Amino acid sequence: MYLSSLIQSGGSTVRGLTLFWENIRVAFKAIRSNRVRAALTMAIIAFGIMALVGILTAIDGLKSTLTEQFTMMGANSFSITSRSMRVTIGGEHIRTKNHSHITYREAQEFKQRFREPAWVSVSFNASGLAEYRFGNKKTNPNITVIGADENYMTIAGQELESGRNFSQEDLAGSRHVVIIGQDIVRFLFPGVDPIGKEISLPGLKLTVIGVIRSMGASMMGSDQLTIIPISTARQYFSRPNITYNIGIMPQKSVSLDMMTSEAEGIFRIVRNLDPRDESDFNIQKSDSIIEMLMENIKYVTLAATIIGLITLFGAAVGLMNIMLVSVTERTREIGVRKALGARKSVIRQQFLYESVIIGQMGGLLGILAGILMGNLVSLGMGSSFTVPWVWVIGGVLACFVVGIASGYFPAVKASSVDPIEALRYE
């Protein structure tokens, strides 16, 4: 009895596989006989998947680039900056409270008081529209000048390509030295070593002692950056209410939260705040910036997904229309199959398979095109080749759903055709 049931089970499995491959063969035959319509439907599906996968591939590349750049710029650092409060009433911006600026004295006092194993840097933005000259050459008037100390480059994640960093003598003596970015080298020193050369700003001559290594398409604009000793910058870029930034980076692996709490406590003492007073300064961890950017990118991802799904919906409607036309054109064929003994389930499966195969072929083309286009955009941003496997699998599943949804009603209609009427159909 057991052997007999086993043989019957094996026989049904073989028949099932035979029927499956027969339905596949019939589906491909039907697709070949309607090449133009099938190709157009595949193109619509491919376009929707390409838009979805392409945009999301580019977004994944952007995320990877941002993460790498923020890691290079010291993802385990934090900064202390001043803040002011504003409110908006009826579209009108009203300043409600001014917190005092971080003065040079406060920044230096904090640097002396902070005894944790960390690099501490004091800096300020001296100018964002500087124009350097060397001989008869000059840069564009968009060069950033930062007044900083010896620890600034370490905390900012900047590296020297050549030359040296500031020494204590440079800072103590307010020496006229400068560290320049690659844009300044390109404009003023094409094919020439800039180390030791003297460049000038209006009223200030500076000797180049270092060149910053290029960070490519970095969002922080390191190629347009110049750094001069903070003591020199305070003399030549003096203005009322300069606010100084304090950067802190641990020298070893420690809890960043504990160190930020310690820094906040010390700076509250420097600012002479009462224990009941609210802190009148910001402490911002560098990883909070990347988290904020990633949060905003989520909305772009959502918009791209909606666009892709809308396109896929249009493709589903087009595929259903083609399948309905196919049912009408193949009415006589359906009648012949039924007259030869084909069951309703077999006819239904044939049309469903055809719809799913068209969807999967269009989806495959769209996925390949989307990965290619998305990575072209990513490579333009300096990112590496990326394959968004989650979205690839999601695209395959989406196309499968489109094929089932578009083919089910035509398949049911085909399986319900009366064989006698079908054989009369011209």
Asked if 133 and 241 sit in the same domain, the reply is yes
Asked if 319 and 272 sit in the same domain, the reply is no
Last residue of a domain, one of 279, 303, 337: 279
Spell out the residues 6+ positions from residue 51 whose beta carbon is closer than 8 angstroms to its own. Answer: 304, 307, 308, 311, 370
**Is 79 domain-assigned?**
no
**Is 91 domain-assigned?**
no
**Is 89 domain-assigned?**
no
Taking only the tens of pLDDT, the chain with its 426 residues reads 444 454 445 555 666 577 677 777 877 777 777 777 778 878 878 887 887 788 777 777 777 766 666 555 555 788 888 875 444 434 444 344 445 789 999 999 999 999 888 999 999 999 988 999 998 999 999 899 999 999 999 888 888 999 999 999 999 999 999 999 999 999 999 989 999 999 999 889 999 999 998 865 444 467 889 999 999 999 999 888 888 999 998 887 777 778 888 999 999 999 888 888 888 888 887 766 666 666 777 777 787 778 777 877 877 787 788 777 777 777 777 777 777 777 777 778 888 888 888 888 888 888 888 888 878 877 776 666 777 787 788 878 888 888 888 888 888 877 777 766 656 655
**Is 14 domain-assigned?**
no
* Axis-axis angle for helices 2-33, 344-380 (nearest 10): 60
**Is 109 domain-assigned?**
yes
Last residue of a domain, one of 246, 279, 312: 279
Asked if 114 and 192 sit in the same domain, the reply is yes
Asked if 175 and 61 sit in the same domain, the reply is no
Q: How far apart are CA 53 and CA 369, in angstroms?
A: 8
Asked if 55 and 124 sit in the same domain, the reply is no
Q: What is the CA radius of gyration of the chain?
A: 34
Look up the domain containing 119 and give its range: 100-279
Asked if 121 and 254 sit in the same domain, the reply is yes
**Is 315 domain-assigned?**
yes
Asked if 307 and 373 sit in the same domain, the reply is yes
| Beta bridge partners of residue 81, listed in sequence order | 282
**419 in Cβ contact with 340 (< 8 Å):** no
Q: How far apart are CA 267 and CA 240, in angstroms?
A: 22
Q: Cα–Cα–Cα angle for 52, 55, 58, nearest 5°?
A: 140
Asked if 65 and 168 sit in the same domain, the reply is no
Q: Which residues of 320-412 form beta strands (DSSP E)?
A: none
Q: How far apart are CA 307 and CA 21, in angstroms?
A: 36
Position 291 scores a pLDDT of: 67
Tell me the three state secondary structure of residue 320: helix
Cβ-based neighbour number of residue 91 at 10 Å: 5
Q: What's the DSSP call for residue 101?
A: P
- Amino acid identity of 335? G
Asked if 302 and 274 sit in the same domain, the reply is no
* Residue 158, token pair as written in the block: 């900047």
**Is 3 domain-assigned?**
no
Q: How far apart are CA 148 and CA 125, in angstroms?
A: 9
Residue whose token pair is 């004091």? 122
Asked if 37 and 64 sit in the same domain, the reply is yes
Asked if 240 and 328 sit in the same domain, the reply is no
Asked if 120 and 254 sit in the same domain, the reply is yes
**Is 414 domain-assigned?**
yes
Last residue of a domain, one of 244, 279, 314: 279
Domains in the chain, number: 2
Q: How far apart are CA 196 and CA 198, in angstroms?
A: 7
Q: How far apart are CA 179 and CA 58, in angstroms?
A: 34
